[in-house]
Structure 1
Amino acid sequence: MYFVIVYATMRNLSKGEALVEAAGRTLGRTLEIKQLDVCDENSIKECVDSLPERRVDILISNAGMGMIGPIECQSIDEMKTVMDTNFFGLVRLLKEVLPDMKRRKKGHIVVISSVMGIQGILFNDVYAASKFAVEGFCESLAVQALRFNLNISLIEPGPVITEFERKVYEEGLKTDLSKADKVTADMFTNIYLKNYKQIFETLGQSSEDVAEHTHKIITMDNPPFRHQTNTLYTPMTTLKYADPNGDLPIDTFYKMVFEHDKVFNASLNFLKLLRWRSRKSFTMEKDKSN
């Protein structure tokens, strides 16, 4: 009989109460929780060494941190921390796990990236840069991986409503804008932060929804290299591929934000209505089947 064991890792095990509660009876059977810090090579090695035969069939890399705001108000050290977690954290994991996968010629590397890995968003400069780095790294590595019969998949969610996003927003509210000019500070406060919650309420997915997409990818015989989880966001990323010069998405976003803000808000309300209707329909269908 074939058993699947999931090793869930956390940087700080003392914050694992919610995970332990959610795990229920699976804890200690098909689920084990281990300490791992993607910014610490020794931590990664100790975790992998603790696994039977150091075997990892599917690696899901989802450690990350966000940062929003004008770059004038962010220190280089803060930027380095984001890059160290989001990009070099993945690199450290693969340096430890990839050689064994190559030796066995079997394995699937699943990286939780972002639509911001293919399209930059206002005031997410450094976060987008870290995800662009992830995308380029994986795209390069994927060619080599094929030689060893390995799969690499990038999961690209749009906005996801989680504690992660709430913390990013709250940190954004605390931003010291004294180093930014008046126009930039006003843009961040009265345009970006003002619309932040509405955008997430309209376009945002739940973490459970993204998890379902991820499960689908890891159970496929021929998983895709890239997979976007949010069809409402897809038209925005498609703009980038529609214009090789790259001007179309930038001009479109500029006009949406600064010239057609009423149209932008109306579009968000329309999308919210569509999402509400689809959820209502789904709920009714479920009720009928019961």
Structure 2
Amino acid sequence: MTQKVVLITGCSSGIGLTLAVRLAKNEKKMFMVYATMRNLNKGEALVEAAGRTLGRTLEIKQLDVCDENSIKACVDNLPERRVDILISNEEMGLIGPIECQSIDEMKIVMDTNFFGLVRLLKEILPDMKRRKKGHIVVISSVMGIQGTLFNDIYAASKFAVEGFCESLAIQALRFNLNISLIEPGPVIAEFERKVVEEGLKTDLSKADKVTADMFMNIYMKNHKQMFETFGQTTEDVAEHTHQIIIMNNPPFRHQTNVLYTPVTTLKYVDPNSDLTTDTFYKMVFEHNKVFNTSLNFLRFLRWRR
């Protein structure tokens, strides 16, 4: 069996790190993993987790998805510039009222989450087309399907990713290429912790009293409970992604969290999306006790599993 070359972005922590190590430790040595990150000084955790695979089935390389020259330099250093499986995982988060966020902050999120993927594909897709072989795996989010309160810009970036990939998938079929969107819900990782920490520092002076109260006393207050209920480990998401990678006919979309499925299903049940918006509004503002009871019930179901 020919060893597949895997290029993964955003491997300094979280899903990227866990997935890179998981693939590199494959018993059959099916993968040669190039784990990349913007800042190589943040690679200590990956080096430790990789263990004996480092220099064998895993190599660490610098790659900044916001820099076309960085992407080209990384790909140029791969044998024959070949990438069999591209896993786009680099992302930025942003929570809070949009009145309190600068346009520059929003641009960074879009530049990383959406244009970062575009830059990668502009460099790697032509060779995949030429060889008529390749799998593009994008770590997206359920927020690419269903927006949620105070995640406006992050959800917008993921919606952009999903629309882009839906369009590209039609063309990819002509070249025998696969595209898979991996859609986790909340993931218990360093990424989420940092986003929440930044959210708590938000200057709410530009927001009206109702919005500021909504953010701090509803969204932030319930954030921990939401993660305790719905949160997945990076290992769980990595396992789902691994299974998609080894499939002969991988799906275009794959949600990793069954507890989140009812939330996204609402979107498909009602094409007008009125049901979704109304349901979320009532859950948050009119039926808070019911919402908390539901979370406790879901947590019980997860424990029973």
TM-score (norm 1): 0.95
**What's the CA shift for 1:273?**
1.2
1:240-255 paired onto structure 2 within 5 Å: 240-255=267-282
Give the letter for the 1:46 counterpart: A
Give yes or no for the alignment of 1:182 onto 2:209.
yes
Specify the alignment match of 1:108 in structure 2: 135
1:1-290 paired onto structure 2 within 5 Å: 2-3=2-3, 4-278=31-305
Aligned pair count? 278
Divergent runs of 4+, >3 A: none
Distance 1:154 1:59 in 2: 12
Give the letter for the 1:30 counterpart: T
Distance 1:86 1:233 in 2: 22
Give the letter for the 2:207 counterpart: A
Give the letter for the 2:169 counterpart: A
| Structure 1: segments with no counterpart, 5+ residues | 279-290
Provide Cα deviations, 1:193-231, integer angstroms capped at 9, x if missing partner.
000011011100000000000000000000000000000
**What's the CA shift for 1:275?**
1.1
Provide Cα deviations, 1:47-94, integer angstroms capped at 9, x if missing partner.
000000000000000000100000000000000000000000000000
**What's the CA shift for 1:277?**
1.9
Distance 1:244 1:209 in 2: 31
Give the letter for the 1:181 counterpart: D
Distance 2:190 2:301 in 1: 25
Give the letter for the 1:236 counterpart: V
Distance 1:154 1:272 in 2: 26
Secondary structure of the residue aligned to 1:244 is: coil
Distance 2:169 2:83 in 1: 18
Distance 1:181 1:246 in 2: 27
Distance 1:268 1:177 in 2: 28
| Structure 2: segments with no counterpart, 5+ residues | 4-30
Distance 2:294 2:270 in 1: 23
Give the letter for the 2:304 counterpart: R
Secondary structure of the residue aligned to 2:146 is: coil
Secondary structure of the residue aligned to 1:60 is: strand
**What's the CA shift for 1:274?**
1.2
Give the letter for the 1:121 counterpart: T
Give the letter for the 2:268 counterpart: Y
Give the letter for the 1:92 counterpart: R
Secondary structure of the residue aligned to 2:65 is: coil
Give the letter for the 1:102 counterpart: K
TM-score (norm 2): 0.90
